[in-house]
Amino acid sequence: MIRFNNDYNHGAHPRILEALASTNGESYGGYGIDPWCERAAEEIGKYLDCPEAAVHFLVGGTQANFTVIASALKPFQAVVCADSGHIHVHETGAVEHTGHKILALPGKDGKITAKQIAGEAEKYRVSGVREHIVQPKMVYISFSTEYGTIYSKGELEEISRVCKEYGLYLFVDGARLGYGLGSCRADVTLKDLARLTDVFYIGGTKCGALFGEAVVIVNPLLQEDFRSCMKQNGAMLAKGWLLGLQFYELFRDGLYFEITRKADEYAMRIKKAFEERGIPSYVESFTNQQFVVVENSVAEKLAEKYVFEYEEKIDENHCCIRFCTSWSIKAEEVDALVRDILAL
């Protein structure tokens, strides 16, 4: 069986393991105060053009999401996101568990618009009963989204502008940032994210690392005491250098971008194969996640050889399934899938 089921089903890029092995005899200071975290922040910083940004390394995505959100908001403040947002539907209420309401807006292909955000913020601004409703204070978007879609630079600029206008923080969940930035359709760079957001994170878990997410806090207001919030939320790894080391390795020569771009290219080959075969996309994605609508029999056929994700029933005869490439997929695995799709 060849696994296209997700982008976190393998350990780490071999260079990560080598780096861990080669430093295993060394000893370091704990809790993220060590040379590797410093160097990793420095390497990441080279892509940001934002000297005041602070970089922190956390273990996982859910943890990064609620730690960032809870550290930024006052008790009566809420976070706005798409109704398909990971924090809204797949994190067991982690954000609400920190006490904050999520205001979910109807998303289109996993995305929300500047106009929707402005509408929500305006509703609060003009409300005569503000004390009775939560205050939208942060916007959470994903890049790429749950559906593999990405925001254009123009869209991000517009969202950023609206956020500034209404005093909202903009937070980008980058669990799949590598695949988003590596897309053939992407016109956004890390520099743009540093310019347009208040805080975002660079996903490692799904993009070549064993585990880890690098939270980049651009807005100085959100930087203060973030480490206290990390510790309080169990998000401060004792051996923090394990995270720094991984991100150093991924960023020192651009490995991060290389391996995720490659995965996107593989995904494009799969996308093209489905298209050639006349199998429609469920949503048009140019990143590593491909959602297609197939006949049930086709899904069964493919399942004989491939592991992929069943998303939902479309009608009696059709279903939506997801094929996911990643840094660990091999060319021959993609070759095989493409061949088999075309032969359907």
The footprint of its own copies on residues 154-213 (CB under 8 A) is 205-206, 210-211
CB atoms inside a 10 Å sphere around CB 169: 23
Nearer to its own copies, 183 or 233 (CB): 233
Counting contacts by CB under 8 A, is residue 142 touching its own copies?
A: no
Q: State the Cα–Cα distance between residues 240 and 33, nearest whole angstrom.
A: 7
- Figure out which of the listed residues 36, 47, 57, 66 binds its own copies, where binding follows CB under 8 A: 66
Q: State the Cα–Cα distance between residues 2 and 21, nearest whole angstrom.
A: 28
CB of 231 to its own copies, least distance (A): 4
- Figure out which of the listed residues 119, 154, 234, 254 binds its own copies, where binding follows CB under 8 A: 234
CB of 96 to its own copies, least distance (A): 4
Q: Site map for its own copies, 237-266, x if CB under 8 A?
A: xxx--x------------------------
Q: State the Cα–Cα distance between residues 30 and 14, nearest whole angstrom.
A: 25
Residue span binding its own copies (CB under 8 A) among the ranges 236-244, 261-269, 279-287, 314-322: 236-244
Q: State the Cα–Cα distance between residues 152 and 157, nearest whole angstrom.
A: 9
CB of 11 to its own copies, least distance (A): 4
Of 13-42, which residues contact its own copies (CB under 8 A)? Answer: 14, 17, 20-21, 23-31
Of 315-334, which residues contact its own copies (CB under 8 A)? Answer: 328
Q: CA Rg, the chain, in Å? A: 20
Of 111-130, which residues contact its own copies (CB under 8 A)? Answer: 129-130
Q: What is the 3-state secondary structure (H, E, C) of 217-257?
A: ECCHHHHCCHHHHHHHCCCCCCCCHHHHHHHHHHHCCCHHH
Q: Site map for its own copies, 273-312, x if CB under 8 A?
A: ----------------------------------------
Q: State the Cα–Cα distance between residues 35 and 143, nearest whole angstrom.
A: 29
Counting contacts by CB under 8 A, is residue 135 touching its own copies?
A: yes
Counting contacts by CB under 8 A, is residue 93 touching its own copies?
A: yes
What is the three-class DSSP state of 181?
Answer: helix
Ramachandran class of 212: left when φ > 0, alpha when ψ lies in -120 to 50, beta otherwise: left
Ramachandran class of 157: left when φ > 0, alpha when ψ lies in -120 to 50, beta otherwise: alpha
Nearer to its own copies, 224 or 276 (CB): 224
Nearer to its own copies, 121 or 194 (CB): 121
What is the three-class DSSP state of 53?
Answer: coil
Which residues are paired to 214 by β-bridges?
A: 57, 202
The alpha helices in 186-326, defined as continuous H runs, are 190-196, 220-223, 226-232, 241-251, 255-276, 296-302
Of 45-64, which residues contact its own copies (CB under 8 A)? Answer: 59-63
Counting contacts by CB under 8 A, is residue 96 touching its own copies?
A: yes
Counting contacts by CB under 8 A, is residue 90 touching its own copies?
A: yes
